[in-house]
A and B are shown apart, each in its own frame.
Chain A
Amino acid sequence: MKNNLYSSGSILRSSLLTLPMVLISLLMLSQGLTGHLADTIGFVVTVAFYSSLFFLMLYKGAIDKWRAIAFIVSAVLFSVSFMNNLINLRGSVTYSDEEIMTCEIPFCHIVTTMILIPAAIKQTIIFPGSIASGFASISSMLVIVIGSSIILGRGFCSWGCFYGGWDDGFSRVTRKPIIKRVNAAYRWFAFAMFIVMALWSAATLMPEYCSWLCPFKLVTERDAIVDTETLLKNVVMLITFGTLVVALPLLTKKRIQCATFCPMGAFESLFNKISLFHVVNNESKCIKCGKCQKSCPLLAISKDNKPLINCAKCGRCVDECPTGAMQMHIKGTPLGKHFTVARLLFLYPAYSLMITLIGSSVANAISLILKTFIF
C-alpha cells in the first residue's frame, strides 16, 4: 500500500483527525432528537457508526472499503426512513395524480438534469414538488447538490447520493465477476441518456426519466397503478431495478446503473472539469499493471490507465494501485507531492456530505426499527 494516509497505523493521529467528523455528526444529527429513548439511541448509534468508519479509513489508510459500508448502509436505511415518512404523510408509498397536482412529491436530485432546460428557457420548474418549503424542497436540494458538485465533482456519486449504495452493494456480493468483460464504451450511454432526457423533458414539460425509467422508484415512491400506463411504468421500473441495479452489478462487479444509465451521473461528471479534487495517474510511478482499470466500478479508467471525466472519486483505484501511482490531486498543486494530504482534505467535505444528506435518515430508520421491534 503506497498511498497510506498521514494517520495510517497511528491510533492517536487517527483519533485526533476523526474528532472534527464526530463534531460534524453531532451537529448535523442532533436536530432530530425528540427526547424519545429510541430517537436518542438512533442518534448515538448513527454518530458512532459514521465516526468509527471514518476512523477506520484514517487508521487503515484504505478508503473505499469503509466508504462502501457507510454508503450501502446509508442507502438502505434512507429507503426505510423515506418510505416510512411517506406512509406517515400520505398513507402510502405510491403517488396519485392528486399528489402530483398539489405538488407534494419530494424532490430527488436526479430530476435536476431534466428541470434545467425548461427553467432556463421557459422559467418553469417541471417537477411537482414544493419550491422552498417542506420535506426535500426543490431549492434546498439544488443548493446542496450543485454546491457539493462544484467542490467534489462527481464525488457526489460515491459519497452523497442516497441511491448509489444500492448498486454499489450488489456489485460487491460475488467474489469474482461472472461476466468478466464489460465494453467500456457503455460508459457513454449515460451521457446520451442525459442529453436526450434533458431535451425530451423540455419538450413534454415532464421529467420523463423519472416517469418512465428510474429504477429507484422501487425503493422510494412510485406511481399508483390505476390504468395501463401506470401499470407499464411499474413494470419498466421493476425491469430496470432488476437488471441494472441487481443482476448486472452481481454478474459484473460494476455499478452498472450508475456507470452506464443514470443521467445525473453524466451531469455530475461535467463538474469534474471544474472541481478542486481529481484522481490522476502519476505516470512516473505507473507500471501499467491495469489493476486500477479492472477494479474501477464505474468504467472510469481509460485503456492507458488514466481516470476519465466520469470518475466518482470512490478511492478504489487509489487503494488498489500497487505503486501509489494513482493519486488524489488538488488542482493547481504540483503532481506527485502532498497527495496523501490531498486525499485527507478530500475526505472531510465528501464524508460531511454523506452525513448531511443521509445521516438523519439513518438515525430515523434506526429509531423506527427500535420503536417497531423493541419499544
Chain B
Amino acid sequence: MIIDGLFIGLSVGASCLASCGPLVMSVIMKNTPTTTGAYAYLFKFMSGRLVAYFLIALLTCLLCHSLSLPKYVIAITTLFVGLMMILNAFFKMPSYCLNGRGIKSFVRQHLSWAYVSILGFISSINVCPPVIAVATSSATSGSIIDSLATFTLFFIGSSLYMLPLPLISLVGDKVALQTIGKFASIIVGVMFIIKALLTF
C-alpha cells in the first residue's frame, strides 16, 4: 500500500533525524546563515535525499526486489560523505549572487546547492533498514508510479522531524555558531571516515 510509505516515514523519522542530523546541523552552523538561509540549506540537503529515494524506488521497481548494496559501495559512499564534511569545515560555501554574470558566477551560484544536495544524495543512498522496509513494500506494488509515490510519502513522513533543525541559526553569537559548526563538521567527517575504513 502506498500509504505505508508515510507511516513508515513517520515511525522511523526520529532515526533519520539522528542519522542525518549531525550532517545537516554541521552544514547549517558552519555556514551561519539567516533562518531563511538555514532552511534553504535543509531543503538543498533534502532535495539530494529525495533524488536518492527516487533512484532506489526506480531500481526496486525495475528489479522487483529490495536492494542490498555491496559492502565496498557502502564504504566508498561513507568515505565520500566523511571527506565532504571535512571540506565543509575548511571552506566557506559560496553564497548566492543574484545579479552575477558569466560561467564563473553561474558555477559559484550553483556550487553550494550542488554540494549540499550531493551530500544529501550520497548519505541517503546507503540503504538503511527503514528504506529496505519501504523498498520491500514498493517492490511488490508493481508500477513505477506507485513505487515513486510510496517513497515520496516516506520522504515526507521522515522529513518532518528535520524541520526544527535550522532553528539553531537563531542563536545570536554567529562567530561561536560558525566555530561549533566547523568543529562538528570535523568530528562527523572523521567519524564517517573511520566508519568507512572499518566497512572495507
Chain A residues in contact with chain B, CB under 8 A?
A: 117, 121-122, 185, 188-189, 191-193, 195-196, 199-200, 202-203
Whether B180 pairs with A200 at a CB distance below 8 angstroms is no
Distance to closest chain B CB from A255 (angstroms):
18
Distance to closest chain B CB from A150 (angstroms):
21
In the complex, chain B residues whose CB is within 8 Å of the CB of A193: 183, 187
Whether A199 pairs with B18 at a CB distance below 8 angstroms is yes
B76 CB within 8 Å of chain A: no
Distance to closest chain A CB from B105 (angstroms):
32
In the complex, chain B residues whose CB is within 8 Å of the CB of A185: 179
Distance to closest chain A CB from B9 (angstroms):
14
B21 CB within 8 Å of chain A: yes
B188 CB within 8 Å of chain A: yes
Whether A195 pairs with B14 at a CB distance below 8 angstroms is no
Distance to closest chain B CB from A252 (angstroms):
18
B19 CB within 8 Å of chain A: yes
B163 CB within 8 Å of chain A: no
Chain B residues in contact with chain A, CB under 8 A?
A: 14-15, 17-19, 21-22, 25-26, 161, 176, 179-184, 186-188, 191
In the complex, chain B residues whose CB is within 8 Å of the CB of A199: 17-18, 21-22, 25
Q: How far is the CA of A215 from the CA of B15 in the complex (A)?
A: 28
In the complex, chain A residues whose CB is within 8 Å of the CB of B176: 188, 191
Whether B183 pairs with A203 at a CB distance below 8 angstroms is no
In the complex, chain B residues whose CB is within 8 Å of the CB of A196: 22, 26, 184, 187-188, 191
> Counting chain B CB atoms within 10 Å of each CB, which of A121, A122, A185, A203 scores highest?
A203
- Which residue of the partner chain A has the closest CB to B176? A188
Distance to closest chain A CB from B50 (angstroms):
20
- Which residue of the partner chain A has the closest CB to B178? A188
- Which residue of the partner chain B has the closest CB to A120? B14
- Which residue of the partner chain B has the closest CB to A122? B14
- Which residue of the partner chain B has the closest CB to A189? B183
Q: Using known A-B contacts A193-B187, A195-B22, A195-B25, determine if residue A203 contacts B15 with beta carbons closer than 8 Å.
A: yes
- Give 6 nearest A-B pairs by CB, closest first: A192-B183, A203-B18, A202-B18, A192-B184, A121-B14, A188-B179
Distance to closest chain A CB from B146 (angstroms):
30
How many A-B pairs with Cβ below 8 Å? Answer: 50
Whether A192 pairs with B180 at a CB distance below 8 angstroms is yes
Distance to closest chain B CB from A259 (angstroms):
13
Which of B19, B26, B161, B183 makes the CB contact (< 8 A) with A188?
A: B183
Q: Using known A-B contacts A122-B14, A196-B188, A203-B15, determine if residue A191 contacts B180 with beta carbons closer than 8 Å.
A: yes
In the complex, chain A residues whose CB is within 8 Å of the CB of B14: 121-122, 202
Distance to closest chain A CB from B79 (angstroms):
18
Q: How far is the CA of A200 from the CA of B22 in the complex (A)?
A: 7
Distance to closest chain A CB from B106 (angstroms):
34
- Which residue of the partner chain A has the closest CB to B165? A199
**Mind listing 9 A-B residue pairs with CB under 8 Å?**
A121-B17, A121-B161, A188-B183, A192-B181, A192-B183, A195-B25, A195-B184, A199-B25, A202-B14
In the complex, chain A residues whose CB is within 8 Å of the CB of B161: 121
Distance to closest chain B CB from A159 (angstroms):
25
In the complex, chain A residues whose CB is within 8 Å of the CB of B188: 196
- Which residue of the partner chain B has the closest CB to A117? B18
Q: How far is the CA of A277 from the CA of B18 in the complex (A)?
A: 34
In the complex, chain B residues whose CB is within 8 Å of the CB of A117: 18
Distance to closest chain B CB from A206 (angstroms):
11
Whether B179 pairs with A203 at a CB distance below 8 angstroms is no
> Counting chain B CB atoms within 10 Å of each CB, which of A121, A188, A193, A202 scores highest?
A188
Whether A200 pairs with B184 at a CB distance below 8 angstroms is no
Given A192-B187, A195-B22, A199-B18, output 8 extra A-B contacts at Cβ < 8 Å.
Answer: A121-B14, A185-B179, A191-B176, A191-B183, A192-B180, A192-B182, A196-B26, A203-B19
Q: How far is the CA of A121 from the CA of B188 in the complex (A)?
A: 22
Q: How far is the CA of A311 from the CA of B176 in the complex (A)?
A: 15
In the complex, chain A residues whose CB is within 8 Å of the CB of B25: 195, 199
Q: How far is the CA of A121 from the CA of B182 in the complex (A)?
A: 27
In the complex, chain A residues whose CB is within 8 Å of the CB of B21: 199, 202-203
Whether B18 pairs with A195 at a CB distance below 8 angstroms is no
Which of B179, B180, B186, B191 makes the CB contact (< 8 A) with A195?
A: B180
In the complex, chain A residues whose CB is within 8 Å of the CB of B18: 117, 199-200, 202-203
Q: How far is the CA of A185 from the CA of B186 in the complex (A)?
A: 14
- Which residue of the partner chain B has the closest CB to A121? B14
Q: How far is the CA of A117 from the CA of B19 in the complex (A)?
A: 12
